[in-house]
Structure 1
Amino acid sequence: MMNSNKVRYLIFFQYIGTKYCGVMRAPTTQAILGVENYLQMAAQKLRPMGNVTFSISSRTDSGVHALCNSAHVDIERASGKAPFSADVLANGLNFHLNTEPISVLKAVRVSHDFHARYKALSRTYLYRIVTGCKNTALPVFERNLCWVASERDLDMPRIQEAAELLLGTHDFSAFRSIDKAAPFKSPIKTLQQVDVTPSTSLLPNHQCRDLQFWDFTFKSKSFAYKQVRRMTSALVAVGLGLLTPQQISLHLETREAPVFPGRLIAPPCGLFLKEVEYSELDLKTDKTELGKCTSGNT
């Protein structure tokens, strides 16, 4: 019989990834730990029975941020103690995470066979770039949160044209890095959304009025390793006249990585996991709960 004190929760959380080796757990002997390490340490301070293990839905690398990531976790309390409510668990984790740039947005009780990674319907990534200044002129509150892609303006109509070519199902071998942990993972992915929209700074900047921020948004059920960063870099190259939209289409067909002057992989600092979406049927929630994690305004 399943222990009634053991409950599986889906946790939605966000973080600034600058100081971590990524979201995944790292060996405790390592100098720089992952976000998951701190989630586990916070959970253990709630005095559960046994060790707590988080199953992360979406991997992010060193320096990459999340407006909303998710994970499932099983927590068993001592005999005679009722399971944590979702709100109590979220508040308890946040209490023990208050010294870290990590925050639990909410917790949801789910079935014992729910899996945060495999049940995800889609993942949406946001990449922030800025043009119109040198890296040294970037406002301090924007450092490590965007990529200074160019001192001059980009040709946005050409970028939009190239972005539309990425939509749909393709072999994205030309826009991925080989993942040593999963070298044979399929490069065939379906992009449901590719948008490039003007954005704003986190704070008004009065010293460099020519700054222009842009959000590159990509949505798919899953992505190849570093696919978003490589696609972003290629689209910026189109905006700088280093590639053409036609070349983007050609590289999709030939599966050969594009070559152009400058950075071939956009840096991690501008990348945010924005949203992980789930079916409401997979969640044990009331009718007011949403089947996805959302970060609010971006």
Structure 2
Amino acid sequence: MVCGPARYLVFFQYFGTRYSGVMETKSDQALVGVQNYLEEAAQKLKPSAPIKFHISSRTDTGVHALANAAHVDIQRAPGKAPFTAQQLVQGLNYHLRPEPIRILSAQRVPGTFHARFCALSRTYVYRLLLGCAHHSQIPVFERDLCWAPAGGPLDISAMREAAGFLLGTHDFSTFRSLHSESRLQSAVRTVLQLELLPARGALAAHYLHRELEFWEVKVKGKAFLYKQVRRMVGALVAVGQGKFSPQRIQELLELKDSRAFPPHSMAPASGLFLQSVEYSQEDLAPPGAEEELS
């Protein structure tokens, strides 16, 4: 008797600077996708059929992930039991060395589960560094991990007021990339959370004596348009710099035209992190079987 493949949900993180994005690319490019490395590592586990990672959330060149997700089907040779979650995590991480990609966890899920379409929400964090008069003042450990906007302090109060206009369900056509591949699709999206918060922790506190402040823009929604988060953050920073009023954000929304977005205002990729992808426990639990967690 031949058993079918086992399906797993895998959470993974990566430092995005050295990749073309998360999605698979042709292997002869100077930069390739994180997916290329994930599938190369998986093939070294000697499955009996090729392995394909179905990624939950696309991220672009230079964007990082604290926890992205994918589902994967693994067929082992006849007579071999499916990998346990721990075996899969350890095996993949062993073959991913020395890439800055790490498998965080894995668990068996039903064959009907889909990492992209079953996601309830996605949360992004954008890191801003305030107090740098010149890019040379960015701490060496923070290069490629934040954005230090030029032009002095930001008006956080005005940015928070502007963020309020982006909350809720809107047509975000103005905040969609001019080069979006899916311009015929609806641009209506729902932003569940949009907050500006001072960064916490020992590392953030370490820079206070240099008058450097880290702030985080936290954005949560079920799904986002191509480059929507970076365009929203860039517009909020422009408000903080006094380039236009908070009410201008509402006006941009009402225009529903990506050509109306202020030129050169999109936030760079380096400060953006996919923080988490959330799922319903009902979608994750295999019927009649215990969940396996790493």
Structure 2: how far apart are the matches of 1:168 and 1:207? 34
Structure 1: how far apart are the matches of 2:257 and 2:35? 35
Structure 2: how far apart are the matches of 1:231 and 1:207? 27
The answer (yes or no) to whether the contact 1:142–1:202 under 8 Å persists in 2 is no
Q: Indicate how the Cα distance of structure 1 residues 93 and 158 shifts in structure 2: closer, same or farther if over 3 A, else same.
A: same
Aligned alpha-carbon RMSD (Å): 2.1
Pairwise mapping of residues 38-187 of structure 1 onto structure 2 (< 5 A)?
A: 38-133=37-132, 134-187=134-187
What's the counterpart of residue 240 of structure 1?
Answer: 241
What's the counterpart of residue 250 of structure 2?
Answer: 249
Q: C-alpha displacement at 1:111, in angstroms?
A: 0.7
Spell out, residue by residue over 1:148-185, the C-alpha distance to the aligned partner (whole angstroms, 9 max, x if none).
11352111111110101110000001111045432322
What's the counterpart of residue 8 of structure 2?
Answer: 9
Return 118-127 or 196-205, whichever deviates more.
196-205
The answer (yes or no) to whether the contact 2:129–2:148 under 8 Å persists in 1 is yes
Structure 2: how far apart are the matches of 1:206 and 1:159? 23
Structure 1: how far apart are the matches of 2:85 and 2:290? 15
Q: C-alpha displacement at 1:207, in angstroms?
A: 9.6
Structure 1: how far apart are the matches of 2:208 and 2:139? 9
Percent identity, please: 52
Return 185-194 or 279-288, whichever deviates more.
279-288
Q: C-alpha displacement at 1:205, in angstroms?
A: 5.0
Code of the aligned partner of 1:224:
L
Secondary structure at the aligned position of 1:63 is classed as coil
Secondary structure at the aligned position of 2:210 is classed as coil
Structure 2: how far apart are the matches of 1:28 and 1:153? 43
Structure 2: how far apart are the matches of 1:48 and 1:289? 20
Q: C-alpha displacement at 1:256, in angstroms?
A: 3.7
Q: C-alpha displacement at 1:244, in angstroms?
A: 0.8
Secondary structure at the aligned position of 1:18 is classed as helix
Spell out, residue by residue over 1:119-159, the C-alpha distance to the aligned partner (whole angstroms, 9 max, x if none).
00000111111111121111110000000113521111111
Structure 2: how far apart are the matches of 1:196 and 1:129? 10
Q: Indicate how the Cα distance of structure 1 residues 206 and 179 shifts in structure 2: closer, same or farther if over 3 A, else same.
A: closer
What's the counterpart of residue 211 of structure 2?
Answer: 210
Secondary structure at the aligned position of 1:185 is classed as coil
1:35 aligns with 2:44: no
The answer (yes or no) to whether the contact 1:5–1:83 under 8 Å persists in 2 is no
Code of the aligned partner of 1:264:
S
Q: Indicate how the Cα distance of structure 1 residues 28 and 288 shifts in structure 2: closer, same or farther if over 3 A, else same.
A: closer
The answer (yes or no) to whether the contact 2:180–2:226 under 8 Å persists in 1 is no
The number of aligned residues is 288
Spell out, residue by residue over 1:218-263, the C-alpha distance to the aligned partner (whole angstroms, 9 max, x if none).
11100011000000000000101101111111111122455557x3
Secondary structure at the aligned position of 1:149 is classed as coil
Return 175-184 or 92-101, whichever deviates more.
175-184
Q: Indicate how the Cα distance of structure 1 residues 71 and 128 shifts in structure 2: closer, same or farther if over 3 A, else same.
A: same
Q: C-alpha displacement at 1:272, in angstroms?
A: 0.4
Q: Indicate how the Cα distance of structure 1 residues 260 and 185 shifts in structure 2: closer, same or farther if over 3 A, else same.
A: closer
Q: C-alpha displacement at 1:5, in angstroms?
A: 4.9
Structure 2: how far apart are the matches of 1:169 and 1:254? 15
Structure 2: how far apart are the matches of 1:210 and 1:43? 46
Structure 1: how far apart are the matches of 2:30 and 2:79? 39
Q: Indicate how the Cα distance of structure 1 residues 287 and 165 shifts in structure 2: closer, same or farther if over 3 A, else same.
A: farther
Q: TM-score, structure 1 length as denominator?
A: 0.91
Return 184-193 or 149-158, whichever deviates more.
149-158
Structure with a larger share of its residues in helix: 2
The answer (yes or no) to whether the contact 1:141–1:203 under 8 Å persists in 2 is no
What's the counterpart of residue 220 of structure 1?
Answer: 221
Q: C-alpha displacement at 1:4, in angstroms?
A: 2.3
Q: C-alpha displacement at 1:9, in angstroms?
A: 0.4
Q: C-alpha displacement at 1:31, in angstroms?
A: 2.2
Structure 2: how far apart are the matches of 1:78 and 1:260? 56
